[in-house]
Structure 1
Amino acid sequence: MKDILAHADNYSSWTPGMEYAAGLAAAFSGHLTGVHVVASPYMMVSPYDAPQLLSRIVEELRQVKEEACARRSAFEAQARALGARSALWEVAEGDVPDVLARIGNWHDVLVLGRDEKSNWGSAQALGNLVLRSHLPCIVTPPTCSTARAQCVALGWNHSPEAIRAIHAALPILAAAGRIVVLSGKPREQPLTVGWKPEFDLGTYLRGHGLHVEDRELDASDADAGAALLEAASECRADLLVMGAYGRARFSEWIFGGATRHVLAQARIPLFLRH
């Protein structure tokens, strides 16, 4: 895990999430890229409807872009001071999820900070980024700025999303002192024609030289998110790894779901993969 990407919703100061990203880069002797995305004026107003308003918005966004670009030296120096092997500050224009998906093509993980006061820091907005960035994502709570993973909890429900999350988190698991598998009920799979190989998590982790503790969770789908967070807290976990949006996101947000709950309520960082 050498290439860490972090979204900077705020370019004027360092956030706890950005400090966490720098610490993660330091832990793996890796590179940190911070990216701030300026909205495209053409996404805000049509040039045919209000050309004068568009002209004013273009000028305002140009100033914002110049201010954001001017933070490059300070950001890169601070990232190195926090232990990152190297750092780069990027400023882009466009739709935030699309920009992160683009730059994510050459990064290993995306760090996002939860902050209800920022444009992209609400639980719902973060869920959008987790889905559309096509990257493993670490979502940090507002009060966490230290990248620790002495104890890692794995949310396990036999789903493809959970498998992908655990696979992506292997570098972190290899450095952990303790790994606890929180096993819930297997998610019901739709009827299909054919047969697919079974995945045995214990065999997979042992194959990577990892020794784990097992803990069963007895919770309904509606209570799975709360049960995961409670169990992770009891284990004193520093990080919770889990699959994101195992069912349609519309269903998650309308009817509730584990991903929705943990994104809104977690007090420890989340390692998520859709």
Structure 2
Amino acid sequence: MKTILFNATGDEGFSGRLDAVLDLARAFDAHVTLLHAIPYEAAGAIDFHGAAFAAMVPFWRKEAEKLREKTLDDLSNEGVSWNWVEAAGPVALAMLRESSLHDLAVVSARDPNTVDGTPSFTAGELAVTADCPVLVLPDTCKRFDPTAPALIAWDGSAEASHALKAAVPLLHKAQTVYLVTVKEPARGKREPELPPVNGADYLSRHGISSEMIEAEAGEKGVCATLVEHAENRKAGLIVMGAYGRTRLTERIFGGATRTMLSDVRIPLLMTN
């Protein structure tokens, strides 16, 4: 993993997330691209003639320049290769365009100006469309320890397999890897299409040993069970496939992806 794409925003948690990304960059000797998108669609959606948009552009540009200057100061003594990119438009679209030549995209668990508990639209869109895995950092993230234990959510699906493969560089750094299968009462005795041992065998061929764990969801649900196991094992990373069902079904009825993105407590690696 040699190229990391990071969404640079001016919210309160930005400095902590930047430190976490720098931890990753140093661990992999990677280059960091900091992308700052000016969200002009926020004004365009309510101002058909563009007057409010025109008035806001100077403000956005000034704020972008302040963030850039502060970030330059923060990076001056970090010893990490980096570059700064500015784009206009939705963050998800700007990140998507840049993701093609990056090994990892890093975003916050909360989009700016949204209430707590609202899943990140940016993270969800990138998990489905980006050409690289997406690492979603908690809003209060301060650091990232690549050597901390990692937990893989395994349900035997193609999405889980893709996420496991995408996580291999990070799993090589983890001191312990847990492959957790959560059984849902609604599924009865039906076994996953690919059993956990298949995932464990794949990892072993990459020189990664893992411990297989089977848990019952019960009334807590799959996501709460996964997070509980991760917290009990002091995991620093959860790996999970995104949107196992159609996006429309997920948006109407929820789903594990939406639930996990609604309350990210531990860094979450996702891909489709």
Per the shorter chain, which TM-score range? 0.7 to 0.9
Contact 1:69 1:90 in 2 (8 A): no
SS at match of 2:100: helix
Distance in 1 of aligned mates of 2:223 and 2:269: 14
**1:95 maps to 2:122:** no
Instruction: Report what 1:154 is aligned to.
Output: 152
Once the two structures are TM-superposed, the CA of residue 61 in structure 1 deviates from its matched residue by 1.1
Question: Residues 44 and 181 from structure 1, CA distance in 2 versus in 1: closer, same or farther, beyond 3 angstroms?
Answer: same
Quote how far apart the aligned CAs of 1:266 are. 3.0
User: What's 1:230 paired with?
Assistant: 228
Question: Per-residue CA shift, 1:55-75, capped at 9, x if unaligned?
Answer: 452242144224414543542
**Residue of structure 2 equivalent to 1:145:** 142
Q: Distance in 1 between matches of 2:21 and 2:87?
A: 19
Indicate if the aligned counterparts of 1:180 and 1:212 stay in contact, CA closer than 8 A.
yes
Aligned in 2, Cα 1:220/1:100: closer, same or farther, shift over 3 Å?
A: farther
CA contact (8 A) 1:152 1:178 kept: yes
Matched, 1:61 2:57: yes
- Residue 20 (structure 1) aligns with: 20
Amino acid at match of 2:136: V
Gaps in structure 2 of 5+ consecutive residues: 188-192
Correspondence for 1:164: 162
Equivalent in the alignment of 1:3: 3
RMSD: 3.1
AA of the residue aligned to 2:44: M
- Could you tell me which amino acid in structure 2 is paired with residue 65 of structure 1? R
Mapped pair 1:130 → 2:127: yes
TM-score, with normalisation over the residues of structure 1? 0.83
2:13–2:141 Cα contact (<8 Å) kept: no
- Provide the C-alpha distance between the structure 2 equivalents of 1:18 and 1:146, rounded to a whole number of angstroms: 8
Contact 1:37–1:93, Cα closer than 8 Å, also in 2: yes
* Residue 191 of structure 1: aligned partner: none
2:180 maps to which residue? Answer: 182
- 1:43–1:101: structure 2 CA closer, same or farther, 3 Å change rule? farther
Q: Please give the alpha-carbon distance, in whole angstroms, between the structure 2 residues aligned to 1:12 and 1:152.
A: 27
Partner of 1:248: 246
Question: Does structure 2 retain, via aligned residues, the 8 Å contact 1:7–1:34?
Answer: yes
2:144 is matched by which residue type in structure 1?
A: A
TM, length-normalised to structure 2 = 0.83
Q: 1:9 Cα deviation (Å)?
A: 2.9
When residues 252 and 13 of structure 1 are mapped into structure 2, their CA distance, relative to the original with a 3 A threshold, is closer
Change beyond 3 A, Cα 1:119–1:5: farther
1:105 aligns with 2:103: no
Give the whole-Å Cα distance in 1 for the aligned partners of 2:103 and 2:51.
38
Question: In 2, Cα distance between the equivalents of 1:228 and 1:10?
Answer: 31
Equivalent pair of 1:75/1:89 in contact (CA under 8 Å): no
SS in 1 for 2:98: helix
The structure-2 alpha-carbon separation of the partners of 1:61 and 1:257, relative to structure 1 and needing over 3 Å to count, comes to: same
Percent identity reads 29
Instruction: Quote how far apart the aligned CAs of 1:226 are.
Output: 1.3
Higher alpha-carbon deviation: 249-258 or 153-162: 249-258
Distance 1:45 1:252, change over 3 A: closer
Separation in 2, partners of 1:38, 1:165: 30
Supply the distance in 2 between the matched residues of 1:33 and 1:235 (Cα, whole angstroms).
Answer: 32
Do the aligned residues in 2 keep the contact of 1:5 with 1:33 (CA within 8 Å)? yes
- The 8 Å contact of residues 43 and 52 in structure 2, kept in 1 or not, is answered as no
For 2:250 and 2:28, locate their aligned partners in 1 and report how far apart those are by CA, in whole Å: 34
Q: Distance in 1 between matches of 2:168 and 2:161?
A: 11
Question: Which segments of 5 or more consecutive residues in structure 1 lack a partner in the other structure?
Answer: 189-195
Please list, as runs of the form range in 1=range in 2, the aligned pairs for 1:23-42 lying within 5 A after superposition. 23-40=23-40
Secondary structure (helix, strand or coil) at the match of 1:102 reads: helix
